[in-house]
A and B are shown apart, each in its own frame.
Chain A
C-alpha cells in the first residue's frame, strides 16, 4: 500500500511543487538559524547523532559537521574511521592537536568508546560493531556527560539524524 501512495505522490505535479517549495523554505529557515547562531550547544549536546542515510561521501559529511559545531575547539575522539582525509580536515579548520584516533581490537570497542565519551567533547564512532545493549549504555553515558556522539550508522531507536548543516543539502537541492 505504502509503495502505491508513494508513487501517487511522486506523479502528482502540484504536490511535487508544493513539497519542493516547502523543502526550500525549510532550508532557508535552518540556514538563517545557523547564521544567527540560534542553534546552541545545548540543542545538540547529550544526544547521539547519525550522519544521515544518504548515499554520498560520509567522510565529507563528517568534516562538514565538525566544522559547523558551535564549540570553537572541541576535543575530538575518533574510532573506527577508514580512509579519512586528514588534510581536508585540517583545511576545514579542525584542530588536529586536539584529536585522538583509536584503533582498538573489536572486543574492546565499546569500552574504549565509553572512555572517549567520558573524556572528549565530541566522539565519532565509525564502522564498529556494537551490541544493542552497549549502544543503550553509551547513549545513557552521553546524556549524563552532555557530550556529543556522532555515528556513521543509525542506531535504531537511539540516534537521530543530523540535520543542522545546510550547506551540503542546499547545494544539492536548492542550487
Chain B
C-alpha cells in the first residue's frame, strides 16, 4: 500500500514557537546549554550549544524553557488535528513525523501526477493554516521509499536517486528516539563500512540478525515493509484493552501504574497469539462541560460526552513502557486541548468559578479508555518473509495452483499478461501457470540514441492510432458480426479517408450474435437505437500489407436497451456503451463497457 510521510523539520523549535506567545525569543535549555532557539532568539544572536548565561546576556528578555518531551508531543497534536481535516487515517511515528496511507484513488505515484500533487498540497496547506509550520511531504510505495524522497526534498541535503543508495545513518531520524539500539546499530554498521541500504542487503539479513538481534529485525521490517503490509490477519486477532475510570480522570499521571499493568496484559495477549502490531489505536471518551442558554437568558451547565481517537505507528515489537508513554502523552494532549476549548467557550467569569470549585472535577475528564493493537502481523508470517521471499498466503496459492495444474494437465490453467499494443483485444496474452513472460524483441526495442535524442522524436507516438480510452470490461474474442444503419435504414460505411458516410442511428444484431449475447445474459432485441457516437479512431495497419486486411476503424457508441414487458418493474437497464470495430469491410461488436 502506498504511504505518505509528513515531516516538519526542527520540530522541537516549531513546538516551542507554538507554545510561547508569538514573537517571543525563547530557548530550550538542556544541561545549561541552549538546545533549540526560536527564530526571534536567533536574530538576537542566540545559537545552538551556547551557554545559557551568554544567551541571556545577548537577549535579556529571553524565555527559558526546560527540555520536555511531553511538550513536543502535545504541540504535535495541533498538526495531527490539521491532518485529520484531510484524512482520518493519519498516524504519528514520532513528534514531527506522521504517516498516512495514500487514498485508494491515487494510483500513480510519480511526482507529476495531478491528483497526488493536489492531495499533497492540501496536506501542506492544512498544516500551514493551523500551525504556520512548514511541512515536507512525500509519497512512496513503501515507507522507506517515501522517506528517501522526503530527504531529497529537504534543502541543503545531498540527493539520492534510488532507495538503495540511501545512507543507513539517514534512517536514524525515522525511528523514534525510544529505540537507541537501532541508532547504535546503524552507527556501528557505518563504522564497519556498510554505509548504504544496498550494502546491507548484500550483507544478508541472517548475519545481521545474529549480531544485532531485534534491532536488525526492525531494520529488516522497515526495508521490506512494502511486502509485510500486504499480509493482513484475521478477525479473531483483534486485541484490545479497556479501562473505565470511576472518577473522571484529569491527570494521566495518576493512573500510570494502572495503564502500565494493562499494557503489559496487551503485550502478553499479543505474545500468546504470536502476533506483532504495526500500530496502536487509542480511543477515549471524554466528558466536557457545555454552557447552554435558554430563552430568558438563564445559563445552565450541561455535560457532553465525546469520543476521540488517534493512531500511533509502531516499527518494532512494542513493549509495555512504550505503549504506556504514548497513552500518557496522548491523554495529556487531549486534556489540555479540551480544557482550552472549554475555557474559550465558557463565560470567563463562570470558568474561573467552575475551575476553582470541586464541581469542575466532577464534570471534566476522561471517562473511558480503549487501546487496540491494529495492523496485526502474525510473527510466523513475518519470519517466513524474512527467510524466503514469500508469505504463507503466497505459498498456499502457488501450491493450490500447482495442484490444479497437475490434476487438469496442460493448457487448462492460465495466467494473463498485458502487452503494449493498439487495442484491448490484441493486448492480452495468456500463458500457462508458472511460465515466464516471454517478451518479443520489439517490445524492448528503442531507436538508436542518436534518434532518441533528436528533438522530433516523440515517445508517446510509438503506437500510432492506438485505442486510448479506458478499456471495455467485456471483450469478445472473436468479435461478433453486427450492422450499423443510418436514419434512412441505409448501411453506414467508412470512406477512404476514414470518415463515416452517415450518422449511425440503429445497430442490428445478427441472429448468431444475438444468440451468443443471450447466452452471456445480455437479453437484447434485434435492433437497438444508437444515442451517441464517439470516434472514429483509425488504425492504419501495416503499410506492407493490404490495407483491407489489417486496417481498423473504432467507434464507441451508446445504445438504449428497451425493457421487455416482463421486466417492467425491475430495475431499469442503464444505457450500454459498445465498442464497434470496422474491419475487412464489416462492422463487428468488439466489447461492452
Q: Write the residues of chain A forming the contact surface with B, with a CB cutoff of 8 angstroms.
A: 6, 10, 36-37, 40-42, 45, 54-60, 62-63, 71-73, 75, 77, 82-91, 93, 96-105, 108, 111-112, 115-116, 118-121, 146, 171-172
13 contacts between A and B (CB under 8 A): A42-B235, A55-B570, A57-B522, A60-B474, A63-B473, A77-B397, A86-B428, A88-B473, A93-B107, A98-B397, A102-B413, A104-B408, A112-B407
A100 and B408 alpha carbons, distance in the complex (Å):
14
Contact (Cβ within 8 A) B88 A87: no
Selecting from B25-33, B114-122, B571-579, the interface stretch reads B571-579
Contact (Cβ within 8 A) B408 A112: yes
Q: Write the residues of chain B forming the contact surface with A, with a CB cutoff of 8 angstroms.
A: 1, 88-89, 107, 229-230, 232, 234-235, 393-394, 396-401, 403-404, 407-408, 412-418, 424, 427-428, 430, 433, 470-477, 520-523, 561, 567, 569-571, 573-574, 576, 591-593
Which of A40, A75, A146 has most B Cβ within 10 Å?
Answer: A75
How distant is A79 from chain B, measured CB to nearest CB, in Å?
10
Contact (Cβ within 8 A) A108 B407: yes
Which of A45, A56, A171 has most B Cβ within 10 Å?
Answer: A56
Query: In the complex, which of the residues B235, B400, B415, B573 contacts A40, with contact meaning CB atoms closer than 8 Å?
Result: B235
A62 and B408 alpha carbons, distance in the complex (Å):
26
Contact (Cβ within 8 A) B234 A119: no
Which residues of chain A are within 8 angstroms of B407 by Cβ–Cβ distance? Answer: 108, 111-112, 115
A90 and B401 alpha carbons, distance in the complex (Å):
21
How distant is A121 from chain B, measured CB to nearest CB, in Å?
7
The 6 residue pairs across chains A and B that have the minimum distance between CB atoms: A119-B400, A42-B235, A87-B471, A75-B397, A60-B473, A88-B471
Nearest residue (CB) in A for B433 is A100
Which residues of chain B are within 8 angstroms of A77 by Cβ–Cβ distance? Answer: 397, 400-401
Which residues of chain B are within 8 angstroms of A6 by Cβ–Cβ distance? Answer: 569
Given contacts A36-B88, A40-B235, A119-B399, contact A56 B414 (CB under 8 A): no
A70 and B457 alpha carbons, distance in the complex (Å):
43
Query: In the complex, which of the residues A73, A86, A96, A102 contacts B404, with contact meaning CB atoms closer than 8 Å?
Result: A102
Which of A63, A77, A86, A90 has most B Cβ within 10 Å?
Answer: A86
Given contacts A85-B471, A101-B414, contact A41 B408 (CB under 8 A): no
Nearest residue (CB) in B for A73 is B230
Given contacts A87-B471, A112-B408, contact A99 B415 (CB under 8 A): yes
Which of B229, B400, B592 has most A Cβ within 10 Å?
Answer: B400
Contact (Cβ within 8 A) B232 A71: yes
Contact (Cβ within 8 A) A60 B593: yes
A119 and B131 alpha carbons, distance in the complex (Å):
50
Nearest residue (CB) in B for A153 is B521
Which residues of chain B are within 8 angstroms of A91 by Cβ–Cβ distance? Answer: 470-471
Contact (Cβ within 8 A) B414 A100: yes
How distant is B421 from chain A, measured CB to nearest CB, in Å?
9
A93 and B108 alpha carbons, distance in the complex (Å):
11
Which of A55, A91, A112 has most B Cβ within 10 Å?
Answer: A55
A106 and B521 alpha carbons, distance in the complex (Å):
20
Given contacts A57-B576, A101-B430, A115-B403, contact A85 B418 (CB under 8 A): no
How distant is A125 from chain B, measured CB to nearest CB, in Å?
14
Nearest residue (CB) in B for A90 is B418
Contact (Cβ within 8 A) B473 A146: no
Query: In the complex, which of the residues A54, A56, A84, A108 contacts B408, with contact meaning CB atoms closer than 8 Å?
Result: A108
Given contacts A41-B235, A59-B474, contact A88 B413 (CB under 8 A): no
Contact (Cβ within 8 A) A84 B89: no
Nearest residue (CB) in B for A9 is B569
A102 and B407 alpha carbons, distance in the complex (Å):
12
A10 and B400 alpha carbons, distance in the complex (Å):
51
A121 and B396 alpha carbons, distance in the complex (Å):
10
Contact (Cβ within 8 A) A116 B521: no
A6 and B568 alpha carbons, distance in the complex (Å):
11
Nearest residue (CB) in A for B564 is A55
Which residues of chain A are within 8 angstroms of B576 by Cβ–Cβ distance? Answer: 56-57
